């Protein structure tokens, strides 16, 4: 396997090849500009595992080349090295598929670490992206399903769901995001999407399979695929919960992770999602009604025999000075809080802009907190034998 270096300055390209990248890959291919880079990718084919763009390559050329690689060879992991970075450059780079932006151009250890990470991401992606779209991968290990839920509105479920999906995707996984708030779903608005199809169209297809399901998904610039809520709330009640369960099973076969956004109610589609879930992310804020509802929800999940080890409790806006502290919450819940997300005025700004905060402010405290939640969903867990046993507990017959 090869790493492509795209760097006009011969001295720096030699330093990258001989020092920073030495031993990380079988061989290095060098290109001085974007035309040479595209020619090298065409000649080398799938032997190119990752691409390192040096600091002498202009921002404009680097972003254009990254976008071209994302379209043609999305499993090539791109590392962008700059002498000086900006928040706007990072946002643009992430949108065109760059996996990391590094400003320490002369720091050999930092470059080597970032390059090793880019190569590892590429190895994870290799073989999982079929032409940039999900495919029916027979024999592929089933993906994991994470449902974000709160029985009280206004806690930030859709914000967390959308950004959690992006966070998992930035780690190199193929991710689908499903909006199960069938009456008033906001995923499309949160991501500034204009979908041609919705989950209603997929549910109405009697011959739906993993291959045909992809035609109902909408791709987002961050790399995730979305199945959005109906545009007409009146059709929501006509969607069969069994169809929801089938859709989630099919998505599991095509993606590494399926993240589900939900309404604040134990509706039939939500119960169908619980049936398929490996993880439940329970969300609350620091107010008494929210904590009370969360406690009742945890008790309900216990009655339904959903394993406690697969529940993650997350408190949003956890630094709010409202008279409740995290120790008080844990005492009221008789359960630990697994993760917290701080308040930030960047959150409503990103929501109003229709761009995930993972892209708008990737190095900020909110993005860091969401990455910690994502990390908790990537740990190994027991098989799904027990889950099959508990499905009958969700039976609505």
Q: State whether 302 and 359 are in the same domain.
A: yes
pLDDT higher at 25 or 270: 270
Domain boundary among 59, 90, 125: 125
d(CA 218, CA 193): 8
Q: Are 249 and 208 in contact (CB under 8 A)?
A: no
Q: Is residue 46 part of a domain?
A: yes
> pLDDT per residue over 88-101, tens digit each?
888 788 777 787 88
Mean pLDDT of 97-123: 83
SS (H, E, C) the chain: CEEEEECCCHHHHHHHHHHHCCCCCCEEEEECCHHHHHHHHHHHHHHEEEEEECCCCCHHHHHHHHHHHHHHCCCCEEEEECCCCCHHHHHHHHHCCEEEEECCCCCHHHHHHHHHHHHHHHHHHCCCCECCECCCCCCCCCCEEEEEECCCCCCCHHHHHHHHHHHHHHCCCCEEEEECCCCCCCHHHHCCCCCCCCHHHHHCCCCCCHHHHHHHCEECCCCCEEECCCCCHHHHHHCCHHHHHHHHHHHHHHCCEEEEECCCCCCHHHHHHHHHCCEEEEEEECCHHHHHHHHHHHHHHHHCCCCHHHEEEEEECCCCCCCCCHHHHHHHHCCCCCEEECCCCHHHHHHHHCCCHHHHCCCCHHHHHHHHHHHHHCCCCCCCHHHHHHHHHHCCC
Q: State whether 246 and 319 are in the same domain.
A: yes
**Is the model's pLDDT at 129 over the cut of 50?**
no
Determine the pLDDT at residue 80: 93
Q: State whether 95 and 64 are in the same domain.
A: yes
Q: State whether 156 and 212 are in the same domain.
A: yes
Determine the pLDDT at residue 158: 95
Domain boundary among 125, 158, 176: 125
Q: Are 169 and 222 in contact (CB under 8 A)?
A: yes
Q: Is residue 134 part of a domain?
A: no
**Is the model's pLDDT at 387 over the cut of 60?**
no
Q: State whether 100 and 234 are in the same domain.
A: no
Range of the domain at 263: 144-394
Q: Is residue 80 part of a domain?
A: yes
Q: State whether 226 and 284 are in the same domain.
A: yes
**Banded model confidence at residue 122, pLDDT cuts 50, 70, 90:** confident
Mean pLDDT of 185-210: 87
Q: State whether 24 and 90 are in the same domain.
A: yes
> pLDDT per residue over 133-187, tens digit each?
444 455 557 889 999 999 888 889 999 999 999 999 987 889 999 999 999 999 9
Mean pLDDT of the chain: 84
For the ranges 44-48, 236-240, 284-288, 367-371, the maximum mean pLDDT occurs at 367-371
d(CA 55, CA 142): 40
Q: Is residue 194 part of a domain?
A: yes
Q: Is residue 268 part of a domain?
A: yes
Domain boundary among 93, 125, 157: 125
- Neighbour-count burial of 47, counting CB atoms closer than 10 A to its CB (0-12 exposed, 13-18 middle, 19+ buried): middle
When divided into structural domains, the chain yields a total of 2
Q: Is residue 139 part of a domain?
A: no
Determine the pLDDT at residue 148: 96
> pLDDT per residue over 20-74, tens digit each?
888 888 889 999 999 999 998 888 877 888 899 999 999 999 999 988 887 777 7
- CATH number of the domain encompassing residue 59: 3.40.50.2300
Q: Is residue 245 part of a domain?
A: yes
Determine the pLDDT at residue 126: 58
For residue 145, give Cα distances in angstroms to 159, 191, 224, 260, 273: 18, 20, 14, 8, 9
Residues with Cβ within 8 Å of residue 93, at least 6 apart in sequence: 62, 63, 66, 80, 101
CA end-to-end span of the chain: 54
Determine the pLDDT at residue 356: 93
Q: Is residue 131 part of a domain?
A: no
Q: State whether 163 and 121 are in the same domain.
A: no
- CATH number of the domain encompassing residue 353: 3.40.50.300
> pLDDT per residue over 294-323, tens digit each?
999 998 888 888 888 889 999 998 887 766
Q: State whether 178 and 300 are in the same domain.
A: yes
Q: State whether 160 and 96 are in the same domain.
A: no
Q: State whether 337 and 203 are in the same domain.
A: yes
Q: State whether 260 and 339 are in the same domain.
A: yes
d(CA 375, CA 15): 34
**Is the model's pLDDT at 199 over the cut of 60?**
yes
pLDDT higher at 171 or 383: 171
């Amino acid at each position: 396997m090869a790493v492509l270096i795209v760097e006009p300055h011969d001295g720096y390209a030699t330093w990258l090849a001989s020092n920073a990248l030495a031993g990380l890959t079988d061989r290095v291919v060098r290109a001085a500009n974007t035309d040479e880079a595209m020619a090298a990718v065409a000649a080398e084919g799938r032997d190119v595992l990752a691409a390192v763009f040096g600091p002498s390559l202009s921002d404009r050329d680097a972003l254009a080349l990254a976008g071209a690689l994302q379209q043609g060879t999305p499993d090539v992991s791109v590392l962008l090295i700059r002498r000086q970075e900006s928040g706007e450059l990072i946002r643009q780079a992430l949108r065109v598929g760059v996996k990391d932006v590094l400003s320490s151009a002369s720091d050999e250890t930092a470059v080597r670490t970032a390059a090793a990470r880019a190569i590892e991401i590429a190895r994870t992606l290799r073989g999982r992206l079929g032409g940039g779209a999900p495919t029916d991968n027979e024999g592929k290990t089933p993906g994991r399903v994470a449902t974000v839920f709160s029985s009280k509105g206004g806690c930030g479920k859709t914000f967390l769901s959308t950004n959690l999906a992006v966070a998992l995707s930035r780690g190199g996984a193929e991710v689908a995001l499903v909006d199960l708030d069938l009456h008033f779903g906001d995923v499309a608005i949160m991501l500034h999407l204009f979908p041609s199809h919705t989950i209603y169209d997929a549910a109405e297809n009697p011959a739906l399979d993993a291959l045909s399901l992809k035609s109902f998904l909408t791709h987002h610039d961050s790399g995730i695929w979305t199945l959005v809520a109906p545009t007409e709330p009146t059709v929501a009640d006509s969607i069969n919960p069994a169809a929801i369960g089938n859709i989630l099973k099919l998505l599991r076969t095509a993606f590494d992770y399926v993240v589900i956004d939900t309404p604040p109610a134990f509706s039939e589609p939500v119960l169908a999602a619980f049936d398929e879930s490996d993880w439940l992310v329970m969300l609350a804020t620091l107010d008494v009604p929210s904590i009370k509802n969360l406690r009742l929800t945890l008790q309900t999940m216990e009655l339904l025999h959903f394993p406690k080890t697969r529940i993650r409790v997350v408190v949003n806006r956890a630094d709010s000075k409202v008279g409740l502290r995290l120790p008080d919450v844990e005492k009221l819940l008789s359960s630990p809080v697994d993760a917290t997300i701080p308040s930030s005025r960047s959150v409503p700004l990103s929501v109003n802009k229709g761009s995930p905060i993972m892209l708008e402010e990737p190095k900020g405290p909110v993005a860091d907190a969401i990455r910690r939640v994502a990390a908790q969903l990537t740990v190994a867990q027991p098989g799904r034998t027990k889950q099959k046993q508990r499905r009958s507990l969700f039976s609505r017959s």
